[in-house]
Amino acid sequence: MESGQKLATTIEAANQEAYRRVLAGDPILTDVRLAREAIEGLPDRTILHAGPPVTWDRMCGPMKSAVTAAIVFEKWAKDLGTAEEMAASGGIQFRPNHDFNAVGPMTGMTTPNMAVMIVENRTFGNRAFCTVNEGMGNVMRFGGNDQEVVDRLKWMADELGPVLGAALRHREGIPLKSLIARGLTMGDDMHMRNAACTGLILREWAPALAQTASVINELPRIYDFIAGNDMFFLNIAMATAKSMIAAAHGIDGSTVVTTMARNGTDFGIRLSSTGDSWFTAPAGVVSGLFFSGFSEADANPDLGDSCIVETVGLGGFAMAASPAVVGFVGAGTVAEAETYTRTMAEITIGPNPEWTIPALDMLGVPTGIDVRKVVESGIAPVINTAIAHHEPGRGQIGAGVARAPLACFEKALKGFDESVAKL
Amino acid sequence: MESGQKLATTIEAANQEAYRRVLAGDPILTDVRLAREAIEGLPDRTILHAGPPVTWDRMCGPMKSAVTAAIVFEKWAKDLGTAEEMAASGGIQFRPNHDFNAVGPMTGMTTPNMAVMIVENRTFGNRAFCTVNEGMGNVMRFGGNDQEVVDRLKWMADELGPVLGAALRHREGIPLKSLIARGLTMGDDMHMRNAACTGLILREWAPALAQTASVINELPRIYDFIAGNDMFFLNIAMATAKSMIAAAHGIDGSTVVTTMARNGTDFGIRLSSTGDSWFTAPAGVVSGLFFSGFSEADANPDLGDSCIVETVGLGGFAMAASPAVVGFVGAGTVAEAETYTRTMAEITIGPNPEWTIPALDMLGVPTGIDVRKVVESGIAPVINTAIAHHEPGRGQIGAGVARAPLACFEKALKGFDESVAKL
């Protein structure tokens, strides 16, 4: 076991290395493929889900509902009832997206025949995956499970995905780092607001789409699908964040948080130096604003892999960049939004000089959550998020600000201490 | 002649009516047509130009250069030399764009066979026109006059315009008021930054373009032309502003400025109540930042109809919305940008509650320049603008902040006083 002073120096150096790697990332959106083609080692009859590992019996309502629809989509069962029996009787393997360098919003379903976007971190050569955003309304990520949901995913896999992928390959990818930098100056936080980046990436994508599309008469629907959804870019931001923070995973002695994710039952985090261990606590309730007719009593606990964006300084950490989000999530005034960002600076390694916020005189977004700082200060990471109804298939009912449970960080620090005690 | 007190009341009521009309405007981008089809009464062998009336001998270098290219484009002469002789010998009629409810950036050339966009103010039924933005680099608006410039305009008239127009007619227009409101929350000032609105309008336009394009193999170039130009939306913003402020023109007793425009030689303004009279003064030099290798000595005096956007509270008046512009035009810090907007509130009738600025806690942009307030306060309207080289065809050499010459406003107020003395 190292001496206290020496250990502190080791941790400091390790965290600086983690920070350096996140900043050095060069995420490029390179392709859209079926998950079974893109994700190496993806087993058959397996459903990837959001958050830390969870068994069928502990899954929240929306996730159970999404699972049954995903089984029908994959034609592993002919209807929702049979699908539920199959899921409950162990006929399906459930694994976290994060086990496969993937991420998914809300329920986060990823199955072999869904289209996934591939973001490659060119600096380090690693890749991250995320399904294509389904749009708003009745969608699988909120537990939607009817034929409309399944048909849309089928169209996305058969028609949309190949066209998107061909255009990306034609133009050799779309660089995302500068695009996100620009989005931050245009009011996006990249979690609850992706309006600017959706426009920016459509500008990049549109010419190549027109040039390479094999099914010309699908083009209007494809443009409409992208252009009509302010949150289209969210899934790209998530894969971007995953590709960047993954490069900082596996550094001995680092206390930087490389995963935050929720499955609607548990909230889990992982640290750079503690391998695949999850440190979990019950997922909390999100405080925010509810759509007309709904209240906190209808809300599912915090859900989804989307908070991966907060690990690289976006979302709630970049709230000051996004005055429009402040109102949407009920976070108070624009001035209060700035406080969120400044407070997150206290629990992170440093700012990202390439991702800056005009309203804070070009301060960089706070990057690299240090589990020690979280535990010492008692300041929990803030997450901008959507709120799902706790009943299956009811969809989004609001948006708000969640706090990652401090218990996860306390357990993680204990786990870290135990791991260094063995050295 | 009315008594002082009564006159003041009349002016106040007239200005409130002008303000009300601007706020009530409902600008819709409805079509793209050739100028000779769109603009009623456009005479043959006529070139519309930016700013107040100007004769060939008094035109600045870039405008003369653009005129010769416009003549070649229209095939009124076979080459630039012949075109220049024709222009100098009275073979061409020169008229301000504003005589025909049109506007044009920089040299502002509008000729019968150019494609123009039509913005209809649905509240009042009036229409405004602006050519399609040519992109950056070697372009006619900066005096570019070679075959590349002419060929591009030909492609815009023959291929681009019809496709853009068909898509607009198919979807019955694109409403612009809410789109601009959104752009203001995304960092656009709508004069020197149109990055957000260019993305937003592409999102609106793209699906219909794919659906209606008759020349499918032109689509990649068309998407690329729009998507690749951050300033694509500028010309739409100009036509929008013109359609809104024109509805406030012709109100007896109103001292609201309904036109500001420069031809590179003179700066001219018009008032709501003084008809077609122009009040002019020499165009000033723009103070700003120059591209590498250029300085103020290379700069043409202030040029273009684009400052129509300032008459409805955009551009320099909305500088606080656009931190990115602040740096680009050399206007100092973000905090100083806010001062520009707040100062413009002192010379305008009131804020626009539908076009608000997040950084100023949702203050509306200052709307309706009152010539009396300008003269009394000595505060000249601030204009964000591009800077052209004074030599023909050299293009843009910088960007900066211009002040409308106070002399125009002093003359206009005198003109107003004389007009009311006759009542």
Based on the fold, state whether residues B261 and B403 are members of the same structural domain.
yes
pLDDT digits (tens, 9 = 90+) for A3-32: 789 999 999 999 999 999 999 999 999 999
The mean pLDDT of A368-386, rounded to a whole number, is 96
**Which pLDDT belongs to residue A272?**
98
Which residue does chain A place closest to B360, by CA atoms?
Answer: A334
A214 touches chain B (CB under 8 A): no
B210 touches chain A (CB under 8 A): yes
Based on the fold, state whether residues B190 and B332 are members of the same structural domain.
no
**Which pLDDT belongs to residue A171?**
95
- Asked whether the beta carbons of A396 and A136 are under 8 A apart, the reply is yes
**Which pLDDT belongs to residue B1?**
53
- Residue B117 phi/psi, 5-degree rounding, is -90, 145
Based on the fold, state whether residues A188 and A227 are members of the same structural domain.
yes
Nearest CB among B203, B222, B333 relative to A227 is that of B203
A2 has a pLDDT exceeding 70: no
A interface mutation test: which of B186, B193, B198 has the most A CBs within 10 A? B186
A1 has a pLDDT exceeding 60: no
Q: Do B185 and A223 touch (CB under 8 A)?
A: no
Q: How far are the Cα atoms of A119, A196, A230, A231, B46 from residue A200, in angstroms, in the given order?
A: 17, 6, 11, 13, 39
Whether A290 maps to a domain, the answer reads: yes
Whether B18 maps to a domain, the answer reads: no
At A328, the pLDDT band (50, 70, 90 cuts) reads confident
Nearest CB among A196, A220, A361 relative to B207 is that of A220
Q: How far are the Cα atoms of A281, A347, A410, A419, B263 from residue A376, in angstroms, in the given order?
A: 18, 9, 9, 19, 64
Based on the fold, state whether residues A267 and A414 are members of the same structural domain.
yes
B163 touches chain A (CB under 8 A): no
At B274, the pLDDT band (50, 70, 90 cuts) reads very high
| Long-range residue pairs from B64-68, CB within 8 A, at least 24 positions apart, any chain | B64/B143, B64/B392, B65/B107, B65/B143, B65/B144, B65/B145, B65/B392, B65/B393, B66/B107, B66/B109, B66/B140, B66/B141, B66/B143, B66/B144, B66/B145, B66/B392, B67/B92, B67/B94, B67/B107, B67/B109, B68/B145
Nearest CB among B200, B216, B227 relative to A207 is that of B227
Counting the structural domains of chain A, the total is 2
Based on the fold, state whether residues A224 and A342 are members of the same structural domain.
no
Nearest CB among B186, B202, B208 relative to A203 is that of B202
Nearest CB among B203, B221, B222 relative to A199 is that of B203
Whether B20 maps to a domain, the answer reads: no
Q: How far is B206 from chain A, CA to nearest CA, in Å?
A: 6
Q: Which DSSP category does B51 fall into? A: S
Q: Do A196 and B198 touch (CB under 8 A)?
A: no
Among the residue ranges A59-73, B131-145, B389-403, the one predicted with the least confidence is: B389-403
Based on the fold, state whether residues A383 and A416 are members of the same structural domain.
yes
Residues of A in contact with B222 (CB under 8 A): 210
At B235, the pLDDT band (50, 70, 90 cuts) reads very high
At A286, the pLDDT band (50, 70, 90 cuts) reads confident
**Which pLDDT belongs to residue A403?**
94
Whether B8 maps to a domain, the answer reads: no
- C-alpha A193/C-alpha A250 separation (Å) is 31
Q: How far is B310 from chain A, CA to nearest CA, in Å?
A: 21
- C-alpha B99/C-alpha B72 separation (Å) is 23
Sign of torsion, CA A130 A132 A133 A134?
Answer: negative
B109 touches chain A (CB under 8 A): no
Based on the fold, state whether residues A152 and A186 are members of the same structural domain.
yes
Based on the fold, state whether residues A168 and A228 are members of the same structural domain.
yes
B194 has a pLDDT exceeding 90: yes
Whether A19 maps to a domain, the answer reads: no
Domain boundary among A238, A273, A306: A238
Whether B15 maps to a domain, the answer reads: no
B209 touches chain A (CB under 8 A): yes
Based on the fold, state whether residues B230 and B318 are members of the same structural domain.
no
Which residue does chain B place closest to A225, by CA atoms?
Answer: B207
Residues of B in contact with A226 (CB under 8 A): 203, 206
Q: Do B195 and A216 touch (CB under 8 A)?
A: no
Question: Crossing angle of helices B234-246/B177-184, nearest 10°?
Answer: 120
Whether B163 maps to a domain, the answer reads: yes
Which ipTM score applies to this complex?
A: 0.82
**Which pLDDT belongs to residue B364?**
97
Domain boundary among B172, B203, B238: B238
Q: Looking at residue A329, which CATH number applies to its domain? A: 3.90.1700.10
Domain boundary among A204, A238, A272: A238
Closest to B206 in 3D by CA, of A193, A198, A308: A198
B202 touches chain A (CB under 8 A): yes
Based on the fold, state whether residues A153 and A231 are members of the same structural domain.
yes
B227 touches chain A (CB under 8 A): yes
Closest to B317 in 3D by CA, of B288, B356, B286: B356
Calculate the average pLDDT of chain A: 94
B2 has a pLDDT exceeding 70: no
Nearest CB among A202, A334, A358 relative to B199 is that of A202
Nearest CB among B187, B207, B228 relative to A227 is that of B207
Q: Do B220 and A204 touch (CB under 8 A)?
A: no
C-alpha angle A255-A259-A264 in degrees, rounded to nearest 5: 135
Residues of A in contact with B228 (CB under 8 A): 203, 207
Whether B12 maps to a domain, the answer reads: no
Percentage of residues in chain B with pLDDT exceeding 90? 86
Based on the fold, state whether residues B262 and B128 are members of the same structural domain.
no
B79-94 b/e (C-beta count within 10 Å ≥ 16 → b)? ebeebbebbeeeebeb
Calculate the average pLDDT of chain B: 94
Q: Looking at residue B132, which CATH number applies to its domain? A: 3.90.1710.10
**Which pLDDT belongs to residue B355?**
97
The mean pLDDT of B353-363, rounded to a whole number, is 91
Percentage of residues in chain A with pLDDT exceeding 70? 99
Q: Which residue range forms the structural domain that includes residue B61?
A: 25-238
pLDDT digits (tens, 9 = 90+) for B78-110: 999 999 999 999 999 999 999 999 999 999 999
Based on the fold, state whether residues A218 and A273 are members of the same structural domain.
no
